[in-house]
Amino acid sequence: MGDSYAAGVGAGNQIRYFDGTCLRFDEAYPALLNDRLQPPPSKINFVACSGDNFPTIIQRQLNYYPLRRPWGDRPEFVTLSMGGNDIGFLELVELCIYSIPNIKDLSMECGDAIARSQRLVNSPNFVNDAINVIIATLHQGTSKRGRSFKIYLTGYAQFFNERTMQCNSVSFRPNYFKIMLKAKQYLTIDKRRTLNKIARDLNAGLREAVMRVNLGAPGRVFFIDYDRQFEGHRFCDRVEPNPDDAETWFFTYGANEAAIGDFLSSIPQVQDAFSGRSNGTMSDGALLRLLAEAAGDDPVKMDLIGDLTRNFPIVKYLNTARLHWRAYKNTILTPFHPFPQSPRIHSPCASSNINFLS
């Protein structure tokens, strides 16, 4: 369950069952986790959806999707990624990293986005809203499985090495947009520190939500912090921009810029959104789904939407390279090991057939 981090945008190939608008990919960490944990005939119910936030996770992933039967019969545990969309990560990316106007408010600047995200992530409402999702998920899982049902809530990695000097004059503004761009934003040390601090505050809020839920349901919810695995693999650890650097575990733009620009320019709603003709009514999540719908079932466009999700600046910053998903998977596996060096995977439940939701 969860947002684009759980959906795995850009990791492998897009999964197009039921609908393609959620941008789920077959090397997302839930799929990798499923390959490692699941003996047949166990199964994964993969309902994570790019762009979802606290309310839509409850509305769409818990209470809707009736044809998908997303919860199966007796789910044993759920992985959950949430919070980034609720504090405006996409606005930070658009304005502070890629110098692209925000489609909901064309007057917004980078400083406005930073102030908004800081306010939202440090508001008591953030922790309370996260608790509400956890409790709703725990209630639904417990009603089907009993008290052995568990939740693994995953955090977010800091995106930058904030100590190096070589990024001070670097901008990630892409070349393929044939639409209005703002002045270049540079990845100065101060900016990297500020954005990393927001990611740390986000993790702190999620960790507090887990702690508070566990006061009433001890041992049922776990916070998965994988940030340490990214040491040496963040943006600005080496010379940037370098889309071919395999040691950087976040996607950056690179190939097919001309084709991507043509694709974006061919979608009237995208042009309307960035020109202001849509009057700021299109959400970032709606834009992500619009791009998926535009690709349709055309194999050429499907390949292009795959490139877009790796390169499109609204997406790529929040969704990382394949090694990231493996790091994610390996960290999530830790609670299943009674001893750190044990080669054997242990289910958190007694059953040998594991059913989980993500």
Q: What are the structure tokens assigned to 317, written together?
A: 């910053």
Residue type, 243: P
The pLDDT value recorded for residue 25 is 84
Q: Which range has the top average pLDDT, 31-35, 316-320, 345-349? A: 31-35
Tokens 């809707």, residue? 64
- What does the block give as tokens for 310? 């790796």
Q: Can you tell me the distance from the alpha carbon of 219 to that of 150, in angstroms, rounded to the nearest whole number?
A: 8
Give the span between the Cα atoms of 205 and 47, in whole angstroms.
Answer: 24
Of 112, 51, 89, 92, the closest CA to residue 284 belongs to 51
Q: Which is nearest to 252 in space by CA: 21, 98, 102, 91?
A: 98
Q: 157, 320 in Cβ contact below 8 A? A: yes
230-252: pLDDT as tens digits: 899 899 999 888 877 878 887 66
d(CA 117, CA 50): 19
* Residue of 247, 223, 239, 248 lying closest to 331 (CA atoms): 223
Tell me what the mean pLDDT of segment 40-61 comes to: 85
The DSSP bridge pattern shows strands 150-154 and 221-224 to be parallel
Residue 287's pLDDT is 63
Residues pairing with 2 in the sheet: 81
Per-residue pLDDT reduced to its tens digit, 294-328: 766 666 666 665 555 544 433 333 344 445 545 55
SS3 223: strand
- 131 closest CA partner among 149, 156, 153: 153
- Residue 94's contacts (CB-CB under 8 Å, 6 or more residues apart) are 100, 101, 102, 113, 313, 314
Instruction: Give 97-141 pLDDT, tens digit per residue.
Output: 878 777 677 788 999 999 999 999 999 999 999 999 999 999 989
Distance (Å, rounded) from C-alpha 245 to C-alpha 247?
5
pLDDT tens-place string over residues 171-199: 887 765 555 567 788 999 999 999 999 99
Query: Exposed/middle/buried for 42, CB within 10 Å: 0-12, 13-18, 19+?
Result: middle
As given in the structure block, the two tokens for residue 335 are 């609670």
Cis peptide bond prior to 101, omega within 30° of 0: no
* pLDDT value, residue 202: 97
pTM above 0.95, yes or no: no
